[in-house]
Structure 1
Amino acid sequence: MKNKRKNFLSLTLLMFIISLTASAQKDYKLWLQYDKITDHNLRTKYLSEIQGIVSFGNSETTAISSKELQTALTDMVGTTISVKSKLDQSSIIIGSQTSLNSEILKAAQIDFNQINDEGFILKSISIKNRKHILISGKKDVGVLYGVYSFLRLIQTNKSIENLNTIDSPKTNIRILNHWDNLDRTVERGYAGFSLWNWQKLPDFIDQRYIDYARANASIGINGTVLTNVNANALILTPQYLEKVEALANVFRPYGIKVYLTARFSAPIEIGGLKTADPKDADVINWWKEKTAAIYKRIPDFGGFLVKANSEGQPGPQNYNRDHVDGANMLADAVAPFGGVIMWRAFVYSEHDANDRAKQAYAEFQPYDGKFKENVIVQVKNGAIDFQPREPFHPLFGAMPKTPLMMEFQITQEYLGFSTHLVFLPKLFQEVLESDTFQRGKGSTVAKVIDGSLYKNKITGIAGVANIGNDINWTGHPFAQANWYGFGRLAWNPYLDAETIADEWLKCTFSTDENFIRPIKQMMIDSREAVVNYMTPLGLHHIMDTGHHYGPGPWVSNLSRPEWNPVYYHKADKNGIGFDRSKTGTNAVAQYAPEAAHIFDNLETCPEKDLLWFHHVSWDYKLKNGHNLWDGMALKYQEGVNQVKAMQETWNKTEKYVDSERFKEVKMLLNIQYQEAKWWRDACLLYFQQFSGKELPSGVEKPTQTLEYFQSLKFPFAPGN
């Protein structure tokens, strides 16, 4: 009896492990699921168009393209698709412009004039009365991007008849910023430890590095900054550079360049110099020699990302120099090798507490046109710090002679970590569509970023990565959509978030419209829900201190004024909000006159930004007729209600989703609902002290006291 019971338990455990592994593999595959097409007619139709693969070229990238295509198609159509040497059947032809034969080139020659070096062509062609599909580009990496685009068509059940797609990325540098430390912790990372196992590198190449490269290539990301912006100079030592070289070798065939963060004080810390003054001859020479040594190992090294004179990090101002001095010194070091310097504009000083939102503009705009041509200034989407909602950063459009690249945060530092479902492409799209008015109406942030407004030579968009070594990469299954969406918008900043959500869901979960319709709407609504239950009507930076987890509007005891949430909401008996109008800090003056006029006027300022730009009376009447207090309280309640609706929507999807991912999302949504109520209750109890008003009808009463919420501590919150 004991043996039978023991065998039963062993079998149960084995089945559990098998089940867990199968689910884990689905989670691990991200949007590259390549599930078998269940519609027999559709599968038959695809098979009639795809009877083989003919590959031209012999590069490693071409081999990757061919293998990806063969594996994916075989899985999706349920029949082995062979790689062939002859065009004797309707085939997919892949190869770059320089590798194709003249007969194939003749069918598509004109299209190559319409793409750049990373662009691709998907085209139905006819050769000797046989129909074929051509996937090509000027370079092998363009072919790889074309392969992933073609596979996405099949994953989403789109037609592949009469193809004629000509596409190129609209930005040059499409890059992930990893805030990974050398000890494998990840600053503001909520998905486990760093991917980079420095201890085992360079000799041990984890399969995860290859799968990371595949995932990025599939959405057009072409760069990765391996290390934290709060940089450690050790990464520039030979001991670590050989490890960086190993990663660069893995990523290169996928079109991905490696970049590093440069600690400005490195000449002192690892170079033995007594100064890091960018005007010092020995410092200049040290950086040139260090850079040359990196390029000797990694010929396609992308360059450096630099955080300087911000949050205590060293920089040129330590030596009475300016950002131009520091950036241009490093730019000269990488210029002979074709490298770039990405110089972050995220700066704020304890010596100017007038308005933190004004400081980046004040420090950088006067230097427009003074940076070297291989310097690109990296600007956060808003002037404070990756809040659930911020107006676009005033620097966008204000530096016509300087390339600016966008910095978005994919990891959810201020948005509930990887516990909360927040579809960030809605946030990204809102920023990119914002009108700067710098060259009249229609001068959107996207046009600044892609270089079309000012004809910049280099363009870029960066995303602070949400990736860790969790099985599902991002901590929350739906957080994968933010990585995916970032890549798609980096390629084309004009894409619609709804299109991105549709693609991701079909590639990741199911193509059944009964699943897609409600879940897509849930994703689209999720960002606004978070704004509502955290920071409605323009409130910002009221998260608890340090870890930024949960509400902390009461925090007021930190040593620098702009570290305290009370600095940002300024609630008192007269009202709430930060006055950035002409009669306040006049931050509105940093925008173009048309935008400044809209933001400055209480009547024309969008209500979503109201408390960002104005200190408003509790009795101020909102457009819906409610006074500010009632309207704000109802927004908090609306956010809670929206999360409850998300739960109800998800609970109806069980038959469309594997059980493990269904349960995982269900549990996470339950946490999100509890925490949405926490945000609502804590914030309204705190602000009620100042408004002196009762909660309006329709808002649930808190079940805990303000003192209870203020007593909560989270000393080991992740990512801090």
Structure 2
Amino acid sequence: MYKSVCLLLLLLAFTAVGQKLLAEDGYRLWLRYEQVPDAARLQAYRQAVQEIVVQGNSPTLAAAQKELQAGLSGLLGQPIPARQAPSQQRILLAGTPASSTLIKELNLTEKLKAAGDEGYLLLTTTQGGQKYTVVAANTDVGVLYGSFHLLRLLQTQEDISTLSVASAPKIKHRVLNHWDNLDRTVERGYAGFSLWDWHRLPGYIDQRYLDYARANASVGINGTVLTNVNANALVLTPEYLVKVAALADAFRPYGLKVYLTARFSAPIEIGGLKTADPLDEQVRAWWKQKTAEIYTYVPDFGGFLVKANSEGQPGPQNYGRSHADGANMLADAVAPKGGIVMWRAFVYSNEEPQDRAKQAYNEFKPLDGQFRDNVLVQVKNGPVDFQPREPFHPLFGAMPKTPLMMEFQLTQEYLGQGTTLAYLAPLFKEVLGADTYAKGKGATVAKVVDGTLDRHPLTGIAGVANIGTERNWTGHQFGQANWYSFGRLAWDHTLSSEKLADEWLKMTFTNNNTFVAPVKNILLHSREAIVNYMTPLGLHHLMAWDHHYGPGPWVNNKHRADWTAVYYHRADGEGIGFDRTKTGSNAVEQYFAPVARQFGSLKKVPESYLLWFHHVGWDYKMNSGRTLWNELCYKYSSGVDTVRQMQQTWDNLQELVDEERFQHVKMFLAMQEKEATWWRNSCLLYFQTFSKRSIPQELEKPDKTLEYYMGLDPKFVPGI
């Protein structure tokens, strides 16, 4: 008997330990729903919500009820019953006027007008002697989004006693782009393999698919592109469409539409045609038939994302046609079912003598007004390629007759990849807040993207996903913050980086400000630290060849000049930087006059973009009073110092975070410190061969030679 009891106690102990470890491995993201620790706040919440009433029986309302019940039961530390009719005095009431007689009786029609198809109201009210906390919307998916908002308020310990919140998305299509291949590898993916297990679909629906959909709905993301922009036509065949349909069915209750990438040469590769010319009637008929077939599998199919005539991908220019010709052919195919086409503007050619940063503008600006009404031209945030810092893309504001869709990169291809803590909300805000001056002062990129500048009803924003099969979804625990902040900013781009960091930390870790305040400081300074130790003062594209991991400012003599670092930094004995003024490539002329004058002036250009637009002498005097060379040295050293400060801050917080995630972040920060030092040493030693100047005495010196760093060649870097 004694042995049995001991064995049982030992088993229970191991089980408890195992549950604790699994519970804090990052899988639950920001939807942890741990009991509110503040006793007074907990009591107030328990008083406000004693039962849940969700009237209606759609899959989406069922998902909302399930989330509310799980979330509230966890947060309040006691079961919260769900009913079809109220029996208590303090009710959480959720629904639409169409689904709920109780909601209808509240006469919210006028207030709900501004909510549109996806927005919602959160209200505290009394009706017929009952006190209600209300989640009301015009549609079921609006109820779901509102339910997540209410849970977020409780998770961050906000007051819900007198709610009066109205929220609606500023951008219509809020989409993740997965660069996932059918073999489950992920291009530029640093968090394991693709979530989509094509081999076991459609028969097996992994719980991760549902939790992925929940996480997206919680931040308002309403679309997912399942496949790589470097597309494989096989995904358009019945063998794969039945699998796509299974994913779409799993995602649908959460308001998440499925999109696919269309390989432009698919009519040849899987259709048996001899051409993919978008003006050929057989080709047009083939795409219409193929699209109609897709809709038989996925009735709410969102449409296509297309990369064409870029980096070897086929496109309409193969046949002497324009990007508008190609996009319009596909737009006509999806239009009868309400689908859209997202046509990427990321195009450039090695044969083109123009500065690569100018090429997308040169190709797309003349096509303004030639695209169908259901086409979005998807433009990267900057004119080169997701660099740690770029000026905003000059196409924003330059195509007033065409809806432009923002493309951000959440996966950290050029920001340290999978080992670096990089909070990217400040990057997103920097770009969205930039003033294009397209219609005078105040014509921000955000107003271009949300359609208000040119009154476009079709709007969109995309984020290249950083999600994979890693247990914590994003590889680096803090990579989750970029998924979270992208979704929240896609819904409302006026939110601040500080607020989003505060929310994510409280929901993901703890509301304890002794933890939140210093870690929020880490987040808010992390991206600038990376810019400093990788590409300060407007330098760009200095990474190693092909895999883009680590420094490679010496990369030269490749088969494409615009895939080398020397093409961009142009260091010589006189100075460093890419002259994009009138004396150089004149890329500044693509911006509206006030911006062009600022960027084109050596005295007026922000120093953060100095070497993007100017070739500057090594002894040029900076705002700090230092020479350009010394300023570069200080910037590179500052980046390393900031990472070391991040390490010290994190080490002091061990008692405030669970051990598994503490050690995870601690080890990743140690890797980042080594990589930051590698970047600093490599770049300064290489540029020193041109500047012929010493690193300032007070700064830490490289402990290896330039030849050592040039000889480093990491093998099997993920995400190639």
- If the length of structure 1 is used for normalisation, what is the TM-score? 0.97
**Separation in 1 of the partners of 2:399 and 2:363?**
12
Report the equivalent of 1:409: 409
Report the equivalent of 1:38: 37
CA contact (8 A) 2:171 2:460 kept: yes
Instruction: Tell me the CA shift for residue 96 of structure 1.
Output: 1.5
Change (3 A) 1:282 1:708: same
1:118 counterpart letter in structure 2:
E
Report the equivalent of 1:67: 66
Q: After TM superposition, list the pairs within 5 Å mapping 1:297-336 onto structure 2.
A: 297-336=297-336
Q: For 1:23, which of 18, 21, 24 is the aligned residue?
A: 21
Instruction: Tell me the CA shift for residue 52 of structure 1.
Output: 0.6
1:51 counterpart letter in structure 2:
Q
**Separation in 2 of the partners of 1:461 and 1:186?**
21
Report the equivalent of 2:293: 293
1:441 counterpart letter in structure 2:
K
1:351 counterpart letter in structure 2:
E
Change (3 A) 1:111 1:706: same
Q: After TM superposition, list the pairs within 5 Å mapping 1:88-99 onto structure 2.
A: 88-99=88-99
SS of residue in 2 equivalent to 1:147? helix
Report the equivalent of 1:188: 188
1:689 counterpart letter in structure 2:
T
**Separation in 1 of the partners of 2:621 and 2:202?**
63
CA contact (8 A) 1:397 1:436 kept: yes
**Separation in 2 of the partners of 1:351 and 1:105?**
67
Report the equivalent of 2:258: 258
SS of residue in 1 equivalent to 2:190? coil
Structure 2, gaps ≥5 residues long: none
Report the equivalent of 2:77: 78
**Separation in 1 of the partners of 2:697 and 2:110?**
65
CA contact (8 A) 1:353 1:562 kept: no
- Kindly provide the CA deviation profile for residues 393-415 of structure 1, in whole angstroms up to 9, marking residues without a partner as x: 00001000000000000000001
Structure 2 residue 685 is the aligned partner of structure 1 residue 681: no
Instruction: Tell me the CA shift for residue 85 of structure 1.
Output: 3.2
CA contact (8 A) 1:556 1:566 kept: yes
- Kindly provide the CA deviation profile for residues 434-483 of structure 1, in whole angstroms up to 9, marking residues without a partner as x: 01011111111000010010011200000000000000000000000000
Q: After TM superposition, list the pairs within 5 Å mapping 1:424-573 onto structure 2.
A: 424-573=424-573
1:85 counterpart letter in structure 2:
Q
1:452 counterpart letter in structure 2:
T
Report the equivalent of 1:242: 242
- Kindly provide the CA deviation profile for residues 99-141 of structure 1, in whole angstroms up to 9, marking residues without a partner as x: 1226744342321112110001101111113321110111000
CA contact (8 A) 1:34 1:75 kept: yes
Instruction: Tell me the CA shift for residue 299 of structure 1.
Output: 0.8
Report the equivalent of 2:653: 653
**Separation in 2 of the partners of 1:149 and 1:529?**
32
**Separation in 2 of the partners of 1:485 and 1:582?**
38
CA contact (8 A) 1:599 1:605 kept: yes
Report the equivalent of 2:46: 47
Structure 2 residue 247 is the aligned partner of structure 1 residue 217: no
SS of residue in 1 equivalent to 2:572? coil
Report the equivalent of 2:55: 56
SS of residue in 2 equivalent to 1:550? coil
Change (3 A) 1:89 1:11: closer
**Separation in 1 of the partners of 2:647 and 2:673?**
8
Report the equivalent of 2:663: 663
SS of residue in 2 equivalent to 1:71? helix
Of 116-125 and 88-97, deviating more is 88-97
Identical counterparts, % of pairs:
59
2:571 counterpart letter in structure 1:
A
Structure 2 residue 655 is the aligned partner of structure 1 residue 641: no
SS of residue in 1 equivalent to 2:243? helix
2:585 counterpart letter in structure 1:
T
**Separation in 2 of the partners of 1:409 and 1:447?**
20
**Separation in 1 of the partners of 2:294 and 2:395?**
32
Task: Calculate the aligned-residue CA RMSD, in Å.
Answer: 1.6
CA contact (8 A) 1:104 1:127 kept: no
Report the equivalent of 2:197: 197
CA contact (8 A) 1:353 1:561 kept: no
1:65 counterpart letter in structure 2:
A
**Separation in 2 of the partners of 1:548 and 1:211?**
31
Instruction: Tell me the CA shift for residue 16 of structure 1.
Output: 7.4
Report the equivalent of 2:624: 624
SS of residue in 1 equivalent to 2:108? helix
Structure 1, gaps ≥5 residues long: none
**Separation in 1 of the partners of 2:39 and 2:78?**
12
CA contact (8 A) 2:96 2:103 kept: no
Q: After TM superposition, list the pairs within 5 Å mapping 1:387-402 onto structure 2.
A: 387-402=387-402
**Separation in 2 of the partners of 1:214 and 1:406?**
24
**Separation in 2 of the partners of 1:450 and 1:86?**
40
1:148 counterpart letter in structure 2:
F
Report the equivalent of 1:342: 342
- If the length of structure 2 is used for normalisation, what is the TM-score? 0.97
Count the aligned residue pairs: 714
- Kindly provide the CA deviation profile for residues 482-514 of structure 1, in whole angstroms up to 9, marking residues without a partner as x: 000100011011111110000000000000011
Change (3 A) 1:529 1:15: farther
**Separation in 1 of the partners of 2:464 and 2:531?**
20
Of 691-700 and 96-105, deviating more is 96-105
**Separation in 1 of the partners of 2:11 and 2:464?**
39
CA contact (8 A) 1:24 1:471 kept: no
CA contact (8 A) 2:388 2:530 kept: yes
SS of residue in 2 equivalent to 1:639? helix
Of 115-124 and 23-32, deviating more is 23-32
CA contact (8 A) 2:96 2:136 kept: yes
SS of residue in 2 equivalent to 1:474? coil
Instruction: Tell me the CA shift for residue 520 of structure 1.
Output: 0.4
**Separation in 2 of the partners of 1:109 and 1:394?**
42
CA contact (8 A) 2:98 2:104 kept: no
SS of residue in 2 equivalent to 1:384? coil
SS of residue in 1 equivalent to 2:478? helix
Instruction: Tell me the CA shift for residue 18 of structure 1.
Output: 6.2
**Separation in 2 of the partners of 1:57 and 1:611?**
59
SS of residue in 2 equivalent to 1:525? helix
**Separation in 2 of the partners of 1:348 and 1:573?**
30
CA contact (8 A) 1:122 1:146 kept: yes
Instruction: Tell me the CA shift for residue 84 of structure 1.
Output: 2.3
**Separation in 1 of the partners of 2:11 and 2:367?**
64
SS of residue in 1 equivalent to 2:132? strand
CA contact (8 A) 1:344 1:377 kept: yes
- Kindly provide the CA deviation profile for residues 536-588 of structure 1, in whole angstroms up to 9, marking residues without a partner as x: 00000000010000000000021111011000000000000000011111100
**Separation in 2 of the partners of 1:567 and 1:497?**
34
**Separation in 1 of the partners of 2:267 and 2:428?**
37
**Separation in 1 of the partners of 2:74 and 2:14?**
25
**Separation in 2 of the partners of 1:85 and 1:715?**
59
- Kindly provide the CA deviation profile for residues 584-622 of structure 1, in whole angstroms up to 9, marking residues without a partner as x: 111000000010000000000000000000000000000
Change (3 A) 1:22 1:438: same
Change (3 A) 1:352 1:143: same
2:176 counterpart letter in structure 1:
L
- Kindly provide the CA deviation profile for residues 186-224 of structure 1, in whole angstroms up to 9, marking residues without a partner as x: 000000000000000001100000000000000000000
Change (3 A) 1:79 1:632: same
1:477 counterpart letter in structure 2:
Q
**Separation in 1 of the partners of 2:118 and 2:257?**
13
**Separation in 1 of the partners of 2:607 and 2:385?**
20
Instruction: Tell me the CA shift for residue 297 of structure 1.
Output: 1.2
**Separation in 1 of the partners of 2:369 and 2:710?**
48
Instruction: Tell me the CA shift for residue 354 of structure 1.
Output: 2.7
Of 239-248 and 697-706, deviating more is 697-706
**Separation in 2 of the partners of 1:704 and 1:651?**
28
**Separation in 1 of the partners of 2:317 and 2:223?**
29
- Kindly provide the CA deviation profile for residues 301-331 of structure 1, in whole angstroms up to 9, marking residues without a partner as x: 0000000000000000001111011000000
Change (3 A) 1:103 1:501: closer
